[in-house]
Amino acid sequence: MSRIPLRPQPVGEALYRLEAPPDWTAVFGFDGPLELEIGCGAGGFALEYCRRNPQVRYVAFEWRKKFAREVQHRADKHGIKNLRVIEGDARFAVPRLFAEGSLDQLHLQFPDPWWKRAHQKRAILQPDFAAFLRTRLKATGRFDFRTDVEERARQGLAVLEEAGFVNPLGPGAFHPFDPDEVPSTRERRYLVTGQPVFRARLQKR
Ligand SMILES: C[S@@+](CC[C@H](N)C(=O)[O-])C[C@H]1O[C@@H](n2cnc3c(N)ncnc32)[C@H](O)[C@@H]1O
């Protein structure tokens, strides 16, 4: 990413502080599918996905200040009106900000693998949180999970299936590469190098 002067305030600060779900239609100024990404990083997926799907209301969490502020800056600069970045820890804010059955899709792409045992509690795909995320989805909701770390891919998929997500390809099966799918920033690198990526597209039911 090129250097952009960072905003002085955390992006999405007012949303992050809310104690209860906002009226997302009022936040975005229009109604439409509501989707959530946890850990958007440099935003390669979020920005392009929002550009291609202007009807979607897209909320992206990112706890690294530089990424969060730059992604929102880029969205604003390019007139992408359907993306709201929230700077902060998704694990604490998602339970406050999203009502049960309110989300159409969840995106978790290349989550940090947290190799050290002491850090593993920071991983997003813990059994309780996975089960909680499932409750936030509509009955038709979907979970888009991608990673390059095979061990984490198998663990993550098992946690999601255990939490009740349905894998239309069968338990433990990964989705083949789809050239029409928007790649994330990290995924773009692997598409060039040919390094394997494990993709799962799960359904709430
Ligand atoms: C390995 S990067 C992948 C970024 C992006 N999804 C991609 O595929 O290029 C994981 C990102 O998740 C963010 N992250 C990890 N845990 C988070 C949390 N609890 N809340 C918000 N962001 C988080 C990290 O700061 C990092 O930017």
CA–CA separation, 46 vs 103, rounded Å?
16
Give all domains of the chain, ordered by start, each with its CATH number: 13-203 (3.40.50.150)
Distance 165 CA to ligand 1 centre (A): 22
Of the pLDDT bands very low, low, confident and very high (cuts 50, 70, 90), residue 7 is confident
Closest CA to 39 of 114, 128, 101: 114
Catalytic-residue membership of 112: yes
What's the pLDDT tens digit per position in 139-186?
999 999 999 999 999 999 999 999 999 999 999 999 999 999 999 999
Best probe residue, ligand 1, of 64, 66, 107 (max atoms within 8 Å of C-beta): 64
pLDDT score of 118? 86
What's the pLDDT tens digit per position in 100-138?
999 999 999 999 988 888 888 889 999 999 999 999 999
| Ligand 1 and 184: CB distance under 6 A | yes
Give the active site residue among 89, 104, 112, 148. 112
Q: Are 147 and 125 in contact (CB under 8 A)?
A: no
pLDDT score of 204? 97
Distance 40 CA to ligand 1 centre (A): 6
CA–CA separation, 92 vs 109, rounded Å?
19
| Ligand 1 and 82: CB distance under 6 A | no
Q: Which protein residue has the closest C-alpha to ligand 1 atom 23?
A: 39
| Ligand 1 and 16: CB distance under 6 A | no
Query: DSSP assignment, residue 182?
Result: P
- Give the ligand 1 atom nearest the CA of 107: 6
The model scores a pTM over 0.75: yes
CA–CA separation, 63 vs 86, rounded Å?
8
Distance 169 CA to ligand 1 centre (A): 27
Distance 111 CA to ligand 1 centre (A): 6
Whether 2 has a pLDDT exceeding 60, the answer reads no
